[in-house]
Structure 1
Amino acid sequence: MALLQPPRSSYTKASKKVWFSYVEGSNKFQHDLLGITNSYIAGNLHLQFPEEEPLNAKQIEVSITGTEYVHWTEQVIRTCQVYNASTNSFYTHTYVETIHYIHEKQILNRSLILWQSSNLKNNVRSKKELYEKVTNMHIPFQISLPNDLPPSMNLDTGNIYYNVNAKIKRKMNFWKCQGSKKKIKCICNITRYSPMPMTDPFRWVEWDDQKAWKRGLGYDVSMNYNTFGPGNPIIVKLALKFFKYDLKIKEIFVGLKEYHIFRASGNVKSIKKYAEERSVSGDQFPNILNTHNEWSHNFRIEVLNDKVNWTTDRYNINVHHKIKIKIKFGFFSGKKNINLERMVNIENILEEP
């Protein structure tokens, strides 16, 4: 059975004569559950050179590297004084300057020597004898991953990305403009996992007290967890008790809000957006109250990794989340909206089998 290979588009440095494949039965480099168990990358390096033009090599190395990268631009209006020789005077010139804020840091670099020429192994010092002719090689490799490694992420302004690299030390060929090193580089997606969290109940209650009577509405809102993911959807339990029959509610809203904070070159950029939203229109309430003028509903938000980014606590790239609950009375109601919020974690929780 042929081994699966990374798609051509995943190579940022490629070669027709050197390429990677995954281990048998797999379609990715990463194995096991990073964050839960010891994880590693594994694959095969393939070399295929014609018999009449073999590769003169002395060492082959494979590595896994990770990079944290932040970049954004801002345009600033500047002014300066410019001298006009024809009028013998200065005038103010206004222009727009584009400023680049950049942070780039390597967060992982683990390498493994796959092959050495026999003379290099034996410490032969003659440069002419260090190289061996290589035509066909298929070399398996495996490199362990640190347990605290952050997952791959692409936030446009900030990214964490990983590459599997091969570096071949070869004999220089001036006639073919070949240097002493041949490299290929392939994107390697790293996924981090979390186990099912322990319960962490939280509750907001103003149900049958003076505040509720004065407002004309009592509420009881609760959550059983503060960590959510694909295997643990967000469930907000909300109950209302009406003390005034003519009280009008415009909307009940529950949303998962995501915040991005990027730091580079001494500056900070913030972005925020709702990743998921749920709502109930207020005009439904007269028809859904029970005999005690109460209403309850469970707002459920499935956490899908194509719509939300994992909570990430790094200095240069920070992603955090809040659950926001809003009971809106409308502009002319004379009532102050009820706004509740709680910080939560969004992690790649394994779904139960």
Structure 2
Amino acid sequence: MALLQPPRSSYTQASRKVWFSYVEGSNRFQHELLGITNSYIAGNLHLQFPKGEPLNAKQIEVSITGTEYVHWTEKVTRTRQVYDSITNSYYTQLYVEKINYLHEQQILNRSMILWQSRNLKNNVRSKKELYENIANMYIPFQIPLPNDIPSSMSLGTGTIYYNVNAKIKRKSNFWKFQGSKKMIKCNCNISRYSLMPMTDPIKWVEWNDQKAWKRGLGYDVFMYYSTFGPENPIIVKFALKFYKYDLIIKEVFVGLKEYHVFRASENVKLISEYIEERRVSGDQFPNILDAHNEWSYNFKIEVLDDKVNWSTDRDNIYVYHKVKVKIRFGLFSGKKNINLERKVNIENIYKNPE
């Protein structure tokens, strides 16, 4: 069975004669559950050169590198004094300056020597004798991953990405414009996992007290957890009690909002948006209240990894989330809207199979 290979598009530096493949039965470099078990990358390096033109090399090295990258551009309106030779005076001119904010930091660099020529291993000093001819070679590799690295992510303004690299030290060839090093680089997606969290209840209550009586509405909002993920959806248990029959509610809203904070060159950029929203229109309440003028409902938000980014707290990329609960009253009700929110963690939760 042929080994699966990364798609050509995943290479940032490629070669027709040197390429990677995954280990047998796999379609990715990463193995095991980073954050839960000892995770590592594994694969194979393939070299295939014509017998008449073999690779003349002395060492082959494979590495896994990770980079945190932030970049955005802002336009700033400024003023400057410009001299007018006709009037022999200065005037103020407005102009727009484009400012680039950039941060790039390596967060991982682990390497291993895959192959060395026999004479290099034996510390032979003659440069001419250090190289060996390679026509076909297939070398497996495995490199452990540190447990504290973040998942790969692409947020537009900021990214965290990893590469599997092969560096070949070869004999330079002036006539073929070949330097002494040959590199290939291939994208390597890294996923981080978390175990099912312990319960950590979150509760907002104004049910049968003076505030509820004065408002004409009591509420009881509850969540069992403060950490959510693919195996632990957000469930908001919602209950309302009406003390005034003519109270008009426009809408009940529950949403998951994601925030991105980027830092570069001592500047900060904030981006936020709702990932998921759930609503119940107020005109439904007269028909769904029970005999005690109460209403209860469980709002459920599935945490899907193709929509949400995991909570990440780094110096230059900070991703966090909030569950927001809103009770909106009618425009002429004279009531102040109820806005509740709580910061929560969104993680790549792994559930052990039964």
TM-score (norm 1): 0.99
- Residue pair 1:256, 1:322 contacting (<8 A) in 2 also: yes
The letter of the residue matching 2:180 is S
**Does the 8 Å contact 1:230/1:351 carry over to 2?**
no
Matched, 1:315 2:315: yes
Pairs within 5 Å for 1:97-246: 97-246=97-246
Encode CA deviations 1:88-147: one digit per residue, 9 max, x unaligned.
322322211100000000000000000000000000111111000000000000000000
Q: Classify the secondary structure of the residue corresponding to 1:119.
A: helix
Instruction: Please name the residue that 1:9 is paired with.
Output: 9
Cα deviations by residue, 1:60-101 (Å, 9 ceiling, x for unpaired): 000000000000000011221122334332232221110000
Displacement of 1:57 after TM fit?
0.1
Q: Is the 1:263–1:316 Cα contact (8 Å) retained in structure 2?
A: yes
Alignment partner, residue 78 of structure 1 = 78
Describe the superposition over 1:160-194 as per-residue Cα deviations: whole angstroms up to 9, x where unpaired: 00000000000000000000000000000000000
Distance in 2, Cα, partners of 1:297 & 1:315? 40
- Once residues 226 and 177 of structure 2 are traced to their aligned partners in structure 1, the CA distance between those partners, rounded to angstroms, is 59
What one-letter code is carried by the residue in structure 1 that aligns with 2:139? Answer: I
Q: Distance in 2 between matches of 1:224 and 1:86?
A: 75
Find the counterpart in structure 2 of residue 56 from structure 1. 56
Q: Would the aligned equivalents of 1:312 and 1:318 in 2 still touch at CA under 8 Å? A: yes
Separation in 2, partners of 1:39, 1:331:
55
Counterpart residue identity of residue 254, structure 1: V
Asked whether the equivalents of residues 62 and 164 of structure 1 are also in contact (C-alpha less than 8 Å), the reply is yes
What is the match of residue 342 of structure 1?
342
CA separation in 1, counterparts of 2:202 and 2:107?
Answer: 36
Q: Distance in 1 between matches of 2:13 and 2:125?
A: 31
Residue type matched to 2:236 in 1?
A: V
Aligned-pair identity in percent equals 80
Gaps of 5+ in 1: none
Q: Deviations over 1:198-257 (max 9, x none)?
A: 001121111111111111111111000000000000000000011111111100000001
Counterpart for residue 282 of structure 2: 282
Partner-residue secondary structure (3-state), 2:212: helix
For the residue of structure 2 that corresponds to 1:277, the secondary structure is strand
Q: TM-score, normalised by structure 2?
A: 0.99
Q: Any stretches of 5+ residues in structure 2 without a counterpart?
A: none
8 Å CA contact 1:253, 1:326 repeated in 2: yes
Q: For 1:283, what is the secondary structure of its paired residue?
A: helix
Aligned residue type for 1:39:
S
Deviates more, 1:248-257 or 1:329-338: 329-338
- On the 8 A contact 1:231/1:352 being kept in 2, the answer is no
Query: Match of 2:336, SS?
Result: coil
Distance 2:351 2:280 in 1: 28
Q: Counterpart of 1:35? A: 35
Q: Quote how far apart the aligned CAs of 1:352 are.
A: 4.9
Which stretch shows the higher mean deviation, 88-97 or 27-36?
Answer: 88-97
Instruction: Look up the SS of the partner of 2:350 in the other structure.
Output: coil
SS of the residue 2:96 aligns to: strand
Residue 304 in structure 1 maps to residue 304 in structure 2: yes
Structure 1: distance between partners of 2:246 and 2:85: 77
Which stretch of the first structure deviates more once superposed, 13-22 or 208-217?
Answer: 208-217
Aligned partners of 1:351, 1:98: CA distance in 2, in Å?
Answer: 48
Counterpart residue type for residue 157 of structure 2: T
Partner of 1:66: 66
CA distance in 1, matches of 2:75, 2:351: 45
CA distance, structure 1, for counterparts of residue 94 and residue 289 of structure 2: 63
Alignment partner of 1:271: what SS?
strand
Aligned positions, number: 353
- Which amino acid letter does the alignment assign opposite residue 189 of structure 1? N
SS at match of 2:286: helix
Query: How far off is 1:330 after superposition?
Result: 2.1
- CA-CA distance at 1:315 after TM superposition: 1.3
Question: Partner of 2:270 in structure 1?
Answer: 270
What's the counterpart of residue 253 of structure 2?
253
Query: Following the alignment from structure 2 to structure 1, what is the Cα–Cα distance between the partners of residues 335 and 281?
Result: 17
Runs (4 or more) in structure 1 with deviation over 4 Å come to none
Distance 1:351 1:294 in 2: 36
Letter in 1 for 2:160: I
